A = this chain, B = another copy of it.
């Protein structure tokens, strides 16, 4: 690769190498300060090239995946310590057993006695020992048992009592942190995530069941949380790119966002004060995660080709392959500043969603494209 950004067909995905490195190092340092150990969530980057840089920076070689496709891909590239974070079901056990058979230390997640029993039974039948975390609900946003639910003990006993299964520990994700309104709220959410997970682990231990691992995390709680007492690992993924939702939570500054969509101005609607670009929702994603925040960033903040935000220009609406750019306050556009053919970069609301609309990252240093990193998608 030896090209510059202006030769790239648009829309395409740009990764600012320096900002990416800054975010990676900052979180590594933060987790280390807190005395924690990181497990990188690769659902955001889905790229072995990106993940190798994060490991080279000092992240442990342990990852969390959100799909079995990610598990296969990262395992094929040599990563062996993998947790699959979506509640396991019967239909996926043959494939997970196959991965374990290739030497992957694969941990699963469940929250029911039914699946705990199935794990033991199918593990024996398939000749493997399935390791599973029990998911704990620490914020009411999704799956998991309450920390002191009696079923937790039942599940722990089932997993520990069958040679086809093993209890890895307890796991939680305070996704509710995305709805916090201030740093103190995120800090409180982090402490809630930690303390409730520790209560669950102690609940198991008090029943005589070994609970080796306590795994928690989200980018906001990993950033602002304080104590990690009783916690064996912190998971995060979005932080490597950051995005406008994270900026709205003060997890990062807008200038820290490493990911953007390169688009081209394809038209002017002068009477409406709109720039039309070829960066529609297909390239940006339909994510509107900032809509509930104090500052609604539309479909993304518009920057110049060097990645500097213009200030008040946002993608106010989007069709499949058209973005409509306007001043967020309805102000006039200086159309001479944006002739047709002008390249702009749009910062994403949600890095995971925007990156998933693309199959590669164009890694840039200034306007120089230094590398193209492929990424995977689908299941």
Pairs A–B under 8 Å by Cβ, sample size 24: A6-B91, A9-B68, A10-B379, A43-B321, A66-B282, A66-B321, A67-B321, A86-B266, A86-B322, A87-B266, A87-B278, A89-B340, A89-B341, A90-B341, A91-B341, A110-B267, A112-B340, A114-B339, A142-B319, A143-B322, A175-B319, A286-B286, A286-B288, A359-B377
CA distance A215 to B142 in the complex (A): 47
Q: Quick check: is A167 within 8 A (CB to CB) of the other chain?
A: no
Q: Which segment, of A50-58, A197-205, A350-358, faces chain B?
A: A350-358
Min C-beta distance of A246 to chain B, whole Å: 15
Task: Tell me how far the C-beta of A342 lies from the nearest C-beta in chain B, rounded to whole angstroms.
Answer: 9
By size class, the interface of chain A is: 35 or more
Choice from B7, B86, B278, B320 contacting A89 with Cβ under 8 Å: B278
CA distance A265 to B114 in the complex (A): 13
Contacts of A9 in B (CB 8 A): 68, 91-92, 95, 379
Instruction: Decide if A88 touches B266 in the complex (CB within 8 Å).
Output: yes
Are B92 and A143 touching (Cβ within 8 A)? no
Interfacial chain B residues near A266, Cβ < 8 Å: 86-89, 143
Enumerate chain B residues within 8 angstroms of A265, measured Cβ to Cβ.
89
Residue A11 lies at the interface, judged by CB distance under 8 Å to chain B: yes
Which of B7, B142, B283, B378 is the one whose CB lies under 8 Å from A322?
B142
